[in-house]
Amino acid sequence: MNSPYSRLRSIRGEIPFAGLIMIVAIVVVLMVVFEMTFKVVTIEGNQAAVRETWSGGVDPDAKGPKTYFTMRWTETYYPYDMSEQRFVMNDNTADTANGSRAIDTLELKSSDNQRVHFNFTLTWHRSLAHLAQMHKEYRMGVEENLIRPNLMRVAIAHGTVHTAIELYSGPEMEKVRKEVEAELKDPNGPLANGGVVADNLTTDSVNFPDAKYVENIEARQRAVVAQTRFEAEQKANQAQADASRIAALKEQYEKVVAAETAAKQMVIDQQAQSDKATIKNKADAANLVTLQTGESQKIVLAANAARDAEIARAVGIKAVGEANAMANKLLLASYAVPGSDLFTRIKVADALGVAFSGVKGYLPSNMNFNLVSENYDKAVSLLVGGALVPPAPLPANATTNTPTP
């Protein structure tokens, strides 16, 4: 049977017992040497570590969460809690956060020389970039050596410029807290340069050791409250009276406005009626002037037309007269040419024949056609400027006493 005991017996048979003891001793020595030489360091998730070595001193680069194998004699890892920390300065003996003093209230004097106790709570965390510097300067005493002195310095600087009643309550106390918190958070301030990042400052309470002074403050505050209440009631009464007065003035004003509006409307209506009548009169006058102007222009046009017609008729008459005169002139001129006397006598004979054809009955005594003809011929000769031509002798059978047909 191949059991461990049988193998051990076989080994004992091959190796002497003293040699076996030597091997076990060597293994134990190696394990002890390894344990004394090497070390396993685990940096948890909320931590960071600073590494120190014999040869290089403090490593400026902080080590993050991880498991490290280290040489016990040549290097050391110092872990630091990087989560939010709480530092208190108060008179509560049960609250000693992060190793703060049991009774550590901040006492200062106000600008009116009154003792004032401040109870503060500061939340903060370590800066990873300044962790090596913090390790070299403060190690685990950062609260006592860095935070507390700077908090006291800043709080005293800002608190002593206010009176005690201002620090007792109200906006001035909150103003002081904000001023102190802002200076502690300054990225170029002592805390930040030392590796502390201030997150929030809380004023837990403000106390006055002098109880009588507190009584005076509270009495004053009660008086202020009473005065404020009285002033508020007075203001409310005044506001109610003002509201009533304003309502009355408003009603009166509305009546006045309504009356003025009615009067203005009446004036406007009257003015509109007057303007309407004026516009109508002007329009009627303009229409009358237009009508008269039209009639006048009509008469003028008619007169001008009549005048132009008369002028045209006169011109026509003149032209007709001139034409007739010219025709007569031409006619008479035609009688003045050679041979025209014969033509004239022919025309005279025609006219005389026509004239004698109308003679009825008997001629007077001593008058016959020859005589009449002779006298008419003389007259025509004289008219045309010719010489007298003796009449032709009558035929033998002609008589002057023959009656006309």
Same domain, 91 and 178: yes
Tokens of 381: 């000769």
Q: Is residue 147 part of a domain?
A: yes
As given in the structure block, the two tokens for residue 223 are 């008086």
Quick one: tokens of 239? 């506001």
Quick one: DSSP state of residue 189? S
Is 49:63 a contact under the CB 8 Å cutoff?
Answer: yes
The verdict on residue 294 lying in a domain is no
Return the sign of the alpha-carbon dihedral for residues 316, 318, 321, 325. negative
Query: Do 346 and 374 share a domain, yes or no?
Result: yes
Q: Which residues, including other chains, have CB under 8 Å from residue 116's CB and lie 6 or more apart?
A: 107, 108, 109, 110, 159, 164, 167, 206, 207, 208
**Beta carbons within 10 angstroms of residue 39's beta carbon:** 15
Q: Which residue has the tokens 């009774």?
A: 103
Joined tokens for residue 196: 């502390």
Note whether 151 and 122 are within 8 A (CB): yes
- Together in a domain, 68 and 149: no
Residue 149 lies in a domain: yes
CA distance 378 to 348: 11
From 46, 44, 50, select the one nearest 83 (Cα to Cα): 46
**215-to-39, 160, 165, 171, 221 alpha-carbon distances in Å:** 64, 21, 12, 21, 10
My answer on whether 9 and 63 are in the same domain is yes
Check if the beta carbon of residue 147 is closer than 8 Å to that of residue 124: yes
Task: Please count the CA atoms within 13 angstroms of the CA of 317 that sit on its side-chain side.
Answer: 5
Q: How far apart are CA 135 and CA 80, in angstroms?
A: 9
pLDDT digits (tens, 9 = 90+) for 25-40: 777 777 776 677 678 8
Residue type, 374: E
Same domain for 98 and 198? yes
Q: Do 204 and 114 share a structural domain?
A: yes
4-14 and 17-37 are packed helices; what angle lies between their axes, rounded to 10 degrees? 110
Give the CATH number of the domain where residue 142 resides.
Answer: 3.30.479.30
User: Do 173 and 106 share a structural domain?
Assistant: yes
Q: How far is CA 64 from the centre of its chain?
A: 57
Separation of alpha carbons 158 and 192, rounded Å: 20
Q: Are strands 47-53 and 57-58 parallel, antiparallel or unpaired?
A: antiparallel
Read off the pLDDT of residues 261-301 as tens digits, 9 standing for 90 and up: 888 888 888 888 887 878 887 877 777 777 777 777 778 77
pLDDT in tens, 39-96: 888 999 999 999 999 888 999 999 999 999 888 888 999 999 999 999 998 877 666 5
Does any domain span residue 230? no
Euclidean distance between CA atoms 112 and 162, whole angstroms = 8
- Spell out, as residue ranges, where the chain has pLDDT lower than 50: 1, 5, 388, 394, 398-405
Is residue 328 situated within a structural domain? no
Distance, in Å, from the CA atom of 142 to the CA atom of 122, rounded to the nearest integer, reads 13
Are the C-beta atoms of residues 155 and 178 closer than 8 Å to each other?
A: no
- Cα separation values, 232 from 60, 225, 235, Å: 65, 10, 5
Q: Both 132 and 159 in a single domain?
A: yes
Which residue range forms the structural domain that includes residue 11? Answer: 4-81
Got the DSSP string for 194-226? Answer: TTEEEEEEEEEEEE-S-HHHHHHHHHHHHHHHH
- pLDDT of 5: 47
In the listed set 33, 57, 81, which residue is the last one of a domain according to the structure? 81
Element (H, E) at 153: helix 148-159
- Domain check: are 188 and 96 in the same one? yes
Helix (H) or strand (E) holding 47: strand 47-53
The domain tally of the chain equals: 3
Which pLDDT value is given to residue 197? 96
How far is it, in rounded angstroms, from Cα 250 to Cα 275?
A: 36
| 255 belongs to a structural domain | no
Q: Residue 219: inside a domain, yes or no?
A: no
- Of 209, 229, 254, the last residue of a domain is 209
Do residues 60 and 105 both lie within one domain? no
Do 90 and 191 belong together in one domain?
yes
Of 174, 209, 244, the residue at which a domain comes to its end is 209
Residues 93 and 195 grouped into a single domain: yes
| Pairwise CA distance, residues 161 & 146, whole Å | 24
Q: Decide if 234 is inside a domain.
A: no
Letter for the amino acid at 146? L
